[in-house]
Chains A and B, each alone.
Chain A
């Protein structure tokens, strides 16, 4: 343990870490503010890991542990896909794959007043933003961005939604565009909505295209960039051949 504490923190960045690893020694960081994200815990001068995953660093001073799970832990400012479960007088109950159902206030829509409350039936798929996410409380959602505009939030029509892990969602949302989406986009035209809670919505003209795209994405999670490209090429060769 102490050996690890003495080594430079840079060696842990982008490395797999397990709970108990001490990744930062604050004695080296005097007069600097460090922001700790999920999975890290401060114990006086040592920063230790609480969650297994990869240690990430973003300039100037953000550290966090990233891991891929099937369950989602709500975080503020995440864009997620929710399914309406029930509607109440003042908010909708939406399932976002978290430990508790989230509330979506009926007025949290662009130009929303008491008169034009939208009607969502149970099972409606929504693209929403997490506004409040405190431990032990139901998260709160909104269909507007910070400035009050609709900005693509709201119900999604048609298409097909599948669930996978949070890691896949992050990979799909990474910039530059992940290679699977690029490769697929060159062959098929489709639209996609990715929620950070592991849900992905795909829409295309024909059902076969939708099935193709969704299955390709589902299989690409463990592949590297190059492998994803190869997989897509093989897939289309097979389809064109048959």
Chain B
């Protein structure tokens, strides 16, 4: 580097000019590209060129953290990047750089603040997360204490045009966002056998990232503390000191690193942090744009805060995985639940999210959000999911409605028929019939619900209780009882209301909640039969009605089991109602009204 260059860079900075024509606080153009494989990204920040690759491996966890996976970062300084990078042994500069990059990115690996509680002795977990860690390592746990996922990020520096820290940070984040790990299920007799499903068999899963920590590097020159952002390698050769601030768009400062160099006064540092927060937001939008434009399904949810939406979904998914052994399909009556801390926006996201999940062929979910009371989210595996056509066909027959079908299936989505036997075998030899249930646990909206339900005529066997906490309960009565009851036919509008009930619940709650909520989603899927009066032989084993059940969580498993059996043995033919039915217009309603009138 010639003396002329050095002097010139400094004199130009006195007049706030940089040699490439940028302003002191301008970033260079950031280009993000993705490779064909999941978890590979290529980032260009001006002349600096980096590639990031993410791979995963099943390993034993650390002894002191048996529930967490691990994240490790490796940086490779290719000699083609810079003449000072030697192949093989890294030079002094390379080692220092490696440390800075690793420290900045280790924010990604910090432990997840997740609590897993086992409530009431059943397979009922409560996942609550708070705090802001980037990569959720507890979701990487497969078998506690035995097997966890170890995520490895490899960064390759292809061209050193300055500011390697920021570029490598972006490369690592984008690679993590596009990475998909194989799905793992627990099988075998004692659920200790781990089956890793290849991507052709099961869709691989993304990682859970709570937020994106973005690193912004500042360079200081001369005695007057001239500051520039994103130094080029010329500026780096001339600068007196460097500082890297890592922030996210939630306004948290994740890290500040300043390793040696010129001293800087405090006001300058504060100013730098403010600038960095603006830049972090810019870079986050760039990353999002790149993800959406490349069609890669990233983890970024709607809204400004990334934390609740995407991570909640993946929590739920992962909890299904962990507890269910199969995405959305459980072998046992397993109840997983999750706690979400967030604002009313989050509620909205959660409801949307759960609707999304319902729309997968996992069965129906019904979410209920209790006021301040946790609502637990129970995924139950459906043994069969009806196709819309079957339901339609069944509806045409005069049925006896035994319960409210509260399906949240996503509008227009079909529940697919899956033959129980094959599924059961696939699930791992579960012989017991699977029951889908919908449970409504709602405190505040009990009144509303009752209003909706009141109009329904239920069979005697159907108990619609309000327990002490104000939850309404609804049991599926025995089929014999159903058969005998001819009067209980839901009016279509009520059905509609009932179907929409949870949505209303959610929206009402969303409207009225102000503070931070703790919400646990209690969802269960049940099959139930709505359509009355069909011979059991015809429809047995094929249809189930979805019901709205409210129950104490503790009682749930046992009650479920018993009812399952009851239902199973005495299943009447009832068609199940989906949301689609609810929105189905007049012809059905008329039918229902006609039926109701007839029945009476």
Contact = CB atoms under 8 A, between A and B. Distances in A.
A106 interface: no
B238 to A, nearest CB: 12
A210 interface: yes
A211 B21 contact: yes
A201 B5 CA distance: 10
List 10 A-B pairs, minimum CB-CB distance, nearest first: A123-B3, A207-B12, A160-B8, A125-B2, A83-B2, A123-B2, A125-B4, A215-B21, A161-B4, A161-B2
B189 interface: no
A2 interface: no
6 contacts: A156-B4, A161-B4, A161-B5, A162-B19, A207-B12, A215-B20
Contact of B19 (A121, A124, A157, A211): A211
A116 interface: no
Interface string B8-32: 1001100101111100000000000
A43 interface: no
A158 B12 contact: no
B17 A160 contact: no
Interface string A196-238: 0000010000011011101100000000000000000000000
B17 A208 contact: yes
Given A161-B5, A215-B21, 18 more contacts: A83-B1, A123-B1, A124-B2, A124-B3, A125-B2, A156-B4, A157-B4, A158-B7, A159-B4, A160-B5, A160-B19, A201-B4, A207-B11, A208-B15, A210-B12, A211-B17, A211-B19, A215-B20
Contacts of B4: 125, 156-161, 201
B3 A207 contact: no
B511 interface: no
A121 B3 contact: yes
Interface in A102-151: 121, 123-125
Contacts of B3: 121, 123-125
A207 B15 contact: yes
B396 interface: no
Nearest to B8: A160
Contacts of A123: 1-3, 6
A158 B19 CA distance: 15
Bin the interface of chain B by size.
10 to 19
Bin the interface of chain A by size.
20 to 34
A239 to B, nearest CB: 11
A156 to B, nearest CB: 7
Interface of A: 83, 121, 123-125, 156-162, 201, 207-208, 210-212, 214-215
A207 B17 contact: yes
Main secondary structure of the interface of A (DSSP, over half): mixed
A123 B7 CA distance: 11
Nearest to B11: A207
Interface of B: 1-8, 11-12, 15, 17-21
Nearest to A84: B2
A210 B8 contact: yes
A214 B2 contact: no
Nearest to B20: A215
Contacts of A125: 2-4
A69 to B, nearest CB: 15
A73 to B, nearest CB: 18
Contacts of B11: 207
Nearest to A160: B8
Contacts of B6: 123
A41 B85 CA distance: 35
Interface centre among B4, B8, B11, B19 (most CB of A within 10 A): B4
Contacts of A214: 19
A2 to B, nearest CB: 38
Contacts of A162: 19
A214 B19 CA distance: 9
Nearest to A156: B4
Interface centre among B2, B18, B20, B21 (most CB of A within 10 A): B2
A83 B6 CA distance: 13
Contacts of B21: 211-212, 215
A98 B7 CA distance: 25
A78 B15 CA distance: 37
Contacts of B20: 211, 215
A178 B587 CA distance: 81
A211 B15 CA distance: 12
Contacts of A160: 4-5, 8, 19
A214 B21 CA distance: 10
B17 A159 contact: no
A201 B2 CA distance: 11
A12 B11 CA distance: 49
A132 B393 CA distance: 95
A201 B1 CA distance: 13
A59 B181 CA distance: 66
Contacts of A83: 1-2
Nearest to B234: A162
Contacts of A158: 4, 7-8
Nearest to A82: B2
A235 to B, nearest CB: 10
B235 to A, nearest CB: 13
A121 B11 CA distance: 20
Nearest to A123: B3
A124 B19 CA distance: 20
Nearest to A215: B21
A238 to B, nearest CB: 11
Contacts of B5: 160-161
A162 B5 CA distance: 8
A211 B17 CA distance: 8
A111 to B, nearest CB: 25
B234 to A, nearest CB: 9
A125 B6 CA distance: 12
A156 B4 CA distance: 8
A221 to B, nearest CB: 15
A213 B5 CA distance: 15
Given A207-B15, A208-B17, A214-B19, A159 B8 contact: yes
